[in-house]
Structure 1
């Protein structure tokens, strides 16, 4: 269990935190400042992405090596842009999980080293809670239903009694993983990300092809949809270029169909959670939250309920260090500290395990 000291609900002076994120192929470092008036200021938010060739994913070992190679550069850049020194920081925040084991361990090692070198306390942060708290801070959403969609996670979340409760989630693969894997099947580039390139390809799609619609109560399953979409690439009607022939479909049509089907499922489960808790706010976080079509579909649903959608751009949707700094500093001010011998990472760290002490 993390150590506790006396909580500080409102800062009596400016507080600074460095956040380090490296749970997947993005290495991020960010510095945030909490001010006595209750506001916060993003001082720097630096990120470097490990990009693999088209058709390939990123392996844990290679991703961890990328993080080790770039850690000093990214952190120094963040400190320089923030115009502070390491000695000015109040705490060092790092992603404790969930994520890929080797990359997580690489960044945690860096955090421990900085903590020892400069005598700064450590704060381990849940990656998912980092996304939520940064989204709330940037958008101003008060008590939203949260749709958390990324390469490794798909969850519908709402706050209750100092926990982020999971109302529904994927039963197999995450939505980002589903999109990324199909991008590899059809040979789309991983630069800047396969999900982004799926989105751009989908904008050119003209045909909505039938795919399994797999909601299980509040949960979704995506592996069957992925398999069905991949099967279309073996169909004799599939063409890699546009054709005037009837009954022909292209990679763009498949991207369009995959997005529309999966996003419709996510909108449905999110709407049910909104009805259950009586909220009119939806906050979309995680890397897939940058997708404009997802935001558009969610916006249509929310407007029909007299509600509103909150979302951020790629600076804060995609994994970044500032979200870890934000959640970590909130936790630090409530008295949480992570002892050095408890600073190990875990690939499985549930969102609802975190005590959200900073919310009433």
Structure 2
């Protein structure tokens, strides 16, 4: 349903309404969203449509197959977005698309759709950094003023803070991202990918009873997650491990279940994330934390971060799955902010890149 969100942009209210279409397809989520910046200073979500490519349990999503999914569903999702917004493509000011980071083939498929629409209807293109899209939508929805941002998703794990028209990366993963770590372990224990492996790990972790020792690898402001994943997988080869919790043998206190492993993996990783986020808060003197990205929906992560923030006299901001999980509306929001500052992406420079760093973006719309 369309909804009105309080304004967070430092830009002056526009003299006329500005409307943007945002297209997201950096991984297995294909999204199209339409957003409106009004002269009264409000930002209105007119539509936010998403379709997810879901693979069978135990399988990840390959770039080629994911790109094919995006090509097959692109026009359905876009048409649905315009229908829900009660607009046509002639009503929009610009077409915003994810330029990176992400998986090469899916990114290119969605960019091709954006270029085609731009040429057919003479609409300017605006390439958007996926990470900045998450941050700007998070700021808009929650009203966070100047938070430390914890960006946690399938492909990215970063602690970020704004300074001098740039989102500076204070710390990040040195190997795999948090979401990737959780997804890969979900495949090991054959969890469903519907609605997402990370969500199903979160639910299973709620019934875990044992906190098992796992590597805790924070390295200054950075962290490493490949070792903790390997160690968690190793427990599935332990003679005490039982896939079926009801078929226990011997002393129940020695049994290790999938729920115990999910619980231990979450608790350890989230403790590491809280630690490096707190360091960033202390460094810049902020009392706000904004959690964005698909893993940011995890209620246990929000709870642990909330405990830390409360002890510092601060507050945690997070969104629900409409805006936390990859979506087109976040690309529309960041793209429209950029467009209103006079930025457009020429067709010749609209190529995608898998390695588009958060700190490469000129955040001209922030003072």
Match of 2:14 among 11, 15, 18: 11
Q: Name 1:320's counterpart in structure 2.
A: 327
Q: Name 1:169's counterpart in structure 2.
A: 172
Shift of 1:282: 0.3
The 5 A counterparts of 1:319-358 are 319-358=326-365
The 5 A counterparts of 1:139-288 are 139-242=142-245, 243=248, 245-288=252-295
Q: Return the alpha-carbon distance in structure 2 between the equivalents of residues 37 and 348 of structure 1.
A: 37
Q: Return the alpha-carbon distance in structure 1 between the equivalents of residues 172 and 115 of structure 2.
A: 32
Q: How many residue pairs end up in the alignment?
A: 353
The question of whether the paired residues in 2 share the 8 Å contact of 1:141 and 1:281 is answered with yes
Match of 2:139 among 131, 136, 139: 136
Q: Return the alpha-carbon distance in structure 1 between the equivalents of residues 123 and 67 of structure 2.
A: 24
Q: Return the alpha-carbon distance in structure 2 between the equivalents of residues 218 and 245 of structure 1.
A: 39
The question of whether the paired residues in 2 share the 8 Å contact of 1:97 and 1:125 is answered with yes
Q: Name 1:5's counterpart in structure 2.
A: none
Q: Return the alpha-carbon distance in structure 2 between the equivalents of residues 186 and 252 of structure 1.
A: 10
The question of whether the paired residues in 2 share the 8 Å contact of 1:9 and 1:358 is answered with no
Q: Name 2:65's counterpart in structure 1.
A: 62
Which 4+ stretches in 1 moved above 2 angstroms?
A: 241-244
Q: Return the alpha-carbon distance in structure 1 between the equivalents of residues 42 and 290 of structure 2.
A: 20
CA RMSD of aligned residues (A): 0.7
Shift of 1:38: 2.0
SS for the counterpart of 1:337 is coil
Q: Return the alpha-carbon distance in structure 2 between the equivalents of residues 19 and 348 of structure 1.
A: 20
The 5 A counterparts of 1:8-157 are 9-157=12-160
User: Structure 1: which 5+ runs fail to align?
Assistant: 1-7
Shift of 1:37: 2.2
1:307 aligns with 2:314: yes
Q: Return the alpha-carbon distance in structure 1 between the equivalents of residues 290 and 189 of structure 2.
A: 31
Q: Name 2:4's counterpart in structure 1.
A: none
Q: Return the alpha-carbon distance in structure 1 between the equivalents of residues 73 and 196 of structure 2.
A: 19
Shift of 1:249: 1.0
SS for the counterpart of 1:172 is coil
In the superposition, the TM-score normalised over structure 1's length comes to 0.97
The question of whether the paired residues in 2 share the 8 Å contact of 1:169 and 1:220 is answered with yes
Q: Return the alpha-carbon distance in structure 1 between the equivalents of residues 354 and 339 of structure 2.
A: 22
Q: 1:110-133, CA deviations, whole angstroms, 9 ceiling, x for partnerless residues?
A: 000110111000000000000000
User: Structure 2: which 5+ runs fail to align?
Assistant: 1-10
Q: Name 1:4's counterpart in structure 2.
A: none
In the superposition, the TM-score normalised over structure 2's length comes to 0.95
